[in-house]
Amino acid sequence: MTWWSYALLSALFAALTAILAKVGVEGVPSTLATALRTVVILVFAWGIVLARGEHHALPSLSRKTLLFLVLSGVATGLSWLAYFRALQLGPASRVAPLDKLSLALTVMLSVLLLKEPMNWRLGLGVVLMVTGALLTLK
């Protein structure tokens, strides 16, 4: 499969996540719901790593790689905590589009920090994503 196939699958599973999580956080503290979700992901991901034998690569990871993966994990955890709380307080049809502003922020940060190229089509896409997310608020 190509990278865009995986990206589309990611979008599909993210959409399912919003709907399933909205139902799952009813009557449950959002932090507990996030912790339970995290345990499932932990077991699932390590199961795949072990089944594929990828755990053998652990000793070869550099300190830089470990640092950035830990920082990414912290950012993910904070994102999930905020997302579950937002789902608990608001409708999924409004929370999810605002959460997806991360798409526009990722493009902007990748241009600024990773020096990835920007062109008019990418810029227009970012503007349209932000506009679309904001239109869902009313």
Q: Give the CA angle between residues 71, 43, 64 to the nearest 5°.
A: 25
pLDDT, mean of residues 112-131: 95
State pLDDT tens for residues 43-61.
999 999 999 999 999 999 9
Sign of the Cα torsion 127, 132, 135, 136 reads negative
Residues 6+ apart with CB under 8 A from 28: none
pLDDT at 36 over 80: yes
If you count them, how many residues does the chain have?
138
- Going by pLDDT thresholds of 50, 70 and 90, the confidence category of residue 128 is very high
HSE-CB at 103 with a 13 A cutoff on CA atoms is 22
pTM: 0.83
pLDDT at 138 over 80: no
State pLDDT tens for residues 71-86.
999 999 999 999 999 9
Q: How far is CA 62 from CA 49, 68, 69, 72, 137, in A?
A: 18, 10, 11, 15, 43
State pLDDT tens for residues 18-27.
899 999 898 9
User: Helix 120-135 to helix 92-99 angle, to the nearest 10 degrees?
Assistant: 160
Alpha carbon distance 131, 122 (integer Å):
14
Residues 6+ apart with CB under 8 A from 31: 81, 84, 85
